Chain A
Amino acid sequence: MTRKIIEINNLHYTYPDGSRALAGITLDVFEGDSVGIIGSNGAGKSTFLLHLNGILRSNGAVRIKGMEMTDKNLPHIRSMVGLVFQDPDNQLFMPTVFDDVGFGPINMGLKKNEVETRVQSALKEVDMLAFVKKSSHHLSIGEKKRVAIATVLSMNPQILVLDEPTSNLDPKRRQELIDLLNRLSLTKIIAAHDLDLISQTCSKIALMDQGRIVALGPASNILHDETTLAILGIKTHDLISASPNALRKPPTMPIKLAEESDLD
């Protein structure tokens, strides 16, 4: 039986300037799931991701493996939830690739040789072992994205959270990254505008709009539902022509559209 790994119960968040970002999100993620988060700009996707490892904490609504986001649990949660930011230049802040990938393991208090093996295996997993001594500044954007993923893989996370992993990548690099994500057998949460990426990597999709999850269901269903897609401003035939992969799986389950009463 698969266990709940992330439990989110009625999560609200308002930014200090008063703008409301999340307005009651409820979501359960099971071990091994890969959940795509889609939604237009400003729907609250990135803010939502920042709650998953306690960078933002609001009303104690998020539990990871049953653990609440308390100061005591935080170090453990952060090693369990690997969050990869959209801009790899922000993710990679150390002078060399080695220092960057080793940053997490060292902070976890691991011994020197264990840090080294972690760095090696994480870089190997993303095919970037040859770059270990390079300076991050001298990598291409595709290489940076890969190393950025390695920086959290080295912490041996159980959940991988990615914000727009394919932005700014050319089609080849993009496909390589998708293949890489499919190779990793962790629980994955991926927020993206790239619906083809979502359809290729995720089994479930949550559609966000104005700080809420307005639809949640199997990927193929959501990507074929015209009313949900209308929220994104996508016409169905656009999607089908742009993303043939989305058509592969026939719809099997009805989409559960959250009702107004659930949301409030």
Chain B
Amino acid sequence: MPHVAPLCPAGHLPHKGGDQPAGYSSPISDVGRKAITSKLLISPLVGEMSGRTEGGNVGRILLQLIALFAALFLALTPAHAQSVEELVRQLPEGSYSDRGKIVAQLAATGDVRLVPLLEALAAGELNVVEETGQVVTTAPSGDTVRLTDALTAETAGEASKGAVVRIRVNNSLRRAVRAAIGQLTLMSDSAATRRSAAEAMFNAAEPDNLALLDEALAQEEHAGVRRTMEQARAASILKTDASAEQIAEAVDTISARGDRAALGILTAMLGQADDDVRPAIQEGIKAIEAHLALLDVGQNVWYGISLGSVLLLAAIGLAITFGVMGVINMAHGEMVMIGAYTTFVVQNIVRTSFPGLFEWTLAFALPVAFLVTALIGIAIERGIIRWLYGRPLETLLATWGLSLIIQQAVRSIFGASNREVGNPTWMSGSFDFYGIAMTWNRFWIVVFALAVFAILLVVMKRTALGLQMRAVTQNRRMASSMGIRTPWVDALTFGLGSGIAGLAGVALSQIDNVSPNLGQGYIIDSFMVVVFGGVGNLWGTLVGALTLGVVNKFLEPYAGAVLAKILVLVFIILFIQKRPRGLFALKGRAVEA
């Protein structure tokens, strides 16, 4: 059977008449090669098609040869001979690699007008008017689109939607564009832009960049940017046939950078370096690796804390209903899920009605999710749980049944597929903390989990409700005699636990699927956390969640994700044998069963 797939241009579909795949081993051909050939003024085809050559074969061949040379000549003409405008007009057509070369030529012109154009190109916002070949950006206005010339930024009238075609980009082209933008913005006024330009040049090091970098370095005053530029320069030097001395210096500069990118450059360099510079490179690599090994530990701790905080959020509501009230709420995961769906609904309302407030979605979603899930929780308590006090295992069955009903209900209402909950910008991306990469969403979730924990602690210890809750759980009859409305406190406690699950749902909607199965994934883990930490103890839940998170993350690199999880489960089973009441067991007579 054939196994090498035929490869072909993108964009338009080739003929697919037959069932016989053509040309298995054909090389990748480029999308616009045909287009380019036909754009040439004189092409071999002209001779063929003119059909005027009655001089027989010789004349025809001669004509073809001339045409061929002409074509070759045109193709080899140095690019800088062409103006920026001409180059821009060539952007829409050609293979991705040819267009990458055009982008490089554009960058070489140093024309800063090109920066917004290239940015639009990378973002896929650049269009070409089919008739005129003009490169434009568009803005929708009714049925037509308003055109703006991409180079001059002048308005260029309107056109129907069908008249403009988006200029396609792929990854390799985007890379070329990024490098080009780097070259063009190296002298920008803003330090941040200059730094990212230097960073781009560091990543796409080219000997050609040296001159530009030297020029930029000569006038750079900002120390940080200067360092990045020097690193970019060093990386570029490594690509040249510089002297051993220069190379050693460059290696030093890069080693000092000390991150993965530097390691990558040095490792790549090691293979092709001369013997005399090799020790220096090896030393640099070793230094970086030692540094990175240290960072890895820190990174793992952070990952562990972040996983732990997710577990904490999922489990803390359970710690109330299970730990404080003794109710095994298997529908807890579904409360989390409802919280996530509430976020989805709130975000949709915000999107359609108040698009300006999108960044604040989560702030709106938090109270709404809390209220919705707390109310559902209270309803569950009043409707089902209160009949089952003292029969913990039966609450397990009833709430499990409830969880099935809620799941299927959500599936019927919202559909089985995932729903999109967007991240606000302050929860996207990452930042660098002494070399440890921290993503913003994880960071905020850690903060949020701790905040929820603290608030819960305050509620339990410092408010009347907390006092009553504790009183009821400690001695129901006595509490009742003191005038506490115990059924009411039960309902509120369950509502609080469920409401916190709803809050967890808001947070989880930022990192996980919002689907009817969301809660299922967390319920077992949450129980493990509560049981491990010690039932009836909020601090136990905190310590339990963080411990399990960190242990899991330290095991993962060695054992793999699956085995790590299995090991953690086995660890919990063994731990419970040792301490049947969990980490923070309650001491005293009460513990005896």
Verify that A and B bind, or say they do not: no
